[in-house]
Amino acid sequence: MYNENFKRHSFEDVKAWQLARNFRKNIYSITKQFPKEELYCLTSQMRRATVSIHSNIAEGYGRYNFQENIQLCRIARGSLNEVLDQLYAASDEKYINNEQFNSLRIEGRNIELALNGYIGFLKGQQLSYK
């Protein structure tokens, strides 16, 4: 039986996952403003890529294998950079203003720093178990 008082670590404790989840919320919010003709193009692509970020972090955590976890974090980092690139397209097409672009870009770069830190932590853990 699951005991809520028993503290067990999970992917929800990973700072990069927490940041990525919030980023996804922000991306979903801004893409609601995009024109309807973008629904199956830029809107859909941005949403899928942003979900991929925190989903890959969670999946990697659940693998209980350092190398697989690191690889899935690298995939998450790739998805993050995909979204950051798509923000340029949204800005170029004037779907978002400069303030939105800059805020989301900074948020994305902070996730990248957290992901890089988490990858470094995992590499250190991996070495200590050898």
Write down the mean pLDDT value for the chain: 93
**Mean pLDDT of the 93-108 span:** 98
Taking a C-beta distance cutoff of 8 angstroms, is the pair 80, 112 a contact? yes
Residue 35 in tokens: 């024109």
pLDDT tens for 35-94 read: 999 999 999 999 999 999 999 999 999 998 999 999 999 999 999 999 999 999 999 999
Would you state the pLDDT for residue 1? 45
Would you state the pLDDT for residue 6? 47
Nearest of 14, 101, 124, 130 to residue 61 by alpha carbon: 14
Is domain 14-26+36-128 given the CATH code 1.20.1440.60 in the classification?
Answer: yes
- Would the pLDDT of 108 be above 80? yes
Q: How far apart are CA 9 and CA 61, in angstroms?
A: 10
